Amino acid sequence: MDRAQKERVVEELGQIFESSGVVVVSHYEGLTVAEMQDLRARARANQSSVRVAKNRLAKIALEGKPCEGIADFLTGMTVLTYSEDPVAAAKVVEDFVKDNKKLQILGGAMGESVLDRAGVEAVSKMPSREELIAQIASCIGAPASNIAGAIGAPASNIAGILSTIEDKAEAA
């Protein structure tokens, strides 16, 4: 890799560290190509990305970034999993680790906060952005549907009573 390519990689990594909601650092030693492709596919399906980069270049890219504290995790065969959603990448990695024990989560960063292994696990259990939006929408919609039901209830009650009276009149 020549100097220009290294500078491009450092710039790309810098963008990843600045724009990602969460970055998870893991050791991938022992993973087969198929297993790594599975991790990448799972990440893609959850609006996340996986990146393998030289630790030295990643450390250079981290300089001056809010998540600079994760530089300590960059030793050995590391892979970065990241996403704009502050929860998605952590969920992808945690789900992958359940099926494949070869991947070892070292830690990560969420904004300026450096996360240890337990921190990544805690973040993965949080609801995603889409889940939060759905919960808020249902909370907003619930009172409106209750009001509509209350307004419509007297009319349906009257219709039921009239139907019963009509049935009794026909029977008599």
Query: CA distances (Å), 116 to each of 85, 107, 123, in order?
Result: 19, 4, 11
Q: What are phi and psi of 127, to 5 degrees?
A: -70, 145
Tell me, what CATH number does 117's domain have? 3.30.70.1730
Q: What are phi and psi of 22, to 5 degrees?
A: -150, 140
Do 73 and 114 fall within a single domain? Answer: yes
Q: Return the amino acid letter for 64.
A: G
Element (H, E) at 51: strand 48-52
pLDDT of residue 127: 77
- Structurally, the chain folds into a number of domains equal to 2
Do 106 and 132 fall within a single domain? Answer: no
pLDDT of residue 64: 85
The more confidently predicted of residues 30 and 146 is 30
Do 40 and 118 fall within a single domain? Answer: yes
Q: Which domain holds residue 148?
A: 127-171
pTM over the 0.75 mark: no
Do 78 and 120 fall within a single domain? Answer: yes
Q: What is the pLDDT of residues 28-64, one digit of tens each?
A: 999 999 999 999 999 999 999 999 989 999 999 998 8
Do 91 and 102 fall within a single domain? Answer: yes
Do 67 and 114 fall within a single domain? Answer: yes
Q: What is the pLDDT of residues 59-96, one digit of tens each?
A: 999 988 888 889 999 999 999 999 998 889 999 999 99
Instruction: Read off the DSSP letter of residue 17.
Output: H
The more confidently predicted of residues 131 and 109 is 109
Do 95 and 156 fall within a single domain? Answer: no
Do 120 and 146 fall within a single domain? Answer: no
> Taking all residues of the chain, what is their mean pLDDT, rounded to a whole number?
85
Q: Are 94 and 121 contacting, i.e. CB atoms less than 8 angstroms apart?
A: yes
Average pLDDT over residues 121-136: 79
Do 56 and 104 fall within a single domain? Answer: yes
Do 72 and 106 fall within a single domain? Answer: yes
